[in-house]
Amino acid sequence: MDDTKKLLWVKILHTGIWLFFNVVIFYLLYAVIVNKIDKWVWICLGLIVMEGLILLVFKAVCPITLIARKYSDSQAHNFDIFLPEWLAKHNKTIYTSIVTFSVIVLIYQLIWNSRP
């Protein structure tokens, strides 16, 4: 398989994982807004923390991006994923903001609902 096909498969995998984490993050956001704090909220938080730890270990670079680098020398932010350039460039900022907001709302819901 040539590098172009390998990069295509990496992009498909990366986009699939990105879509999965969109479901995770937006379920978390939905659940805390409607105050449906269930086991899935905690699973979502666990997955998000796991992703954060992976990014921490890899110095804020997704390990899939490192794999894709083997097959491309492109400097585009979206060379390794099927996203628009602007979204790939600002992905971490956008989703970190959504997760931070969700955690703040979760804390509020937990405190508000524990009052007598």
Contacts of 76 (CB under 8 A, 6+ apart): 85, 88
| Domain coordinates in residue numbering, the chain | 3-113
Asked whether the beta carbons of 18 and 12 are under 8 A apart, the reply is no
Position 1 confidence tier, pLDDT thresholds 50, 70, 90: confident
Q: pLDDT per residue over 50-102, tens digit each?
A: 999 999 999 999 999 999 999 999 999 999 999 999 999 999 999 999 999 99
Rounded Cα gap, residues 82 and 11, in angstroms: 6
- Mean pLDDT of the chain, nearest integer: 96
Model pLDDT for residues 21-50, shown as the tens digit of each residue: 999 999 999 999 999 999 999 999 999 999
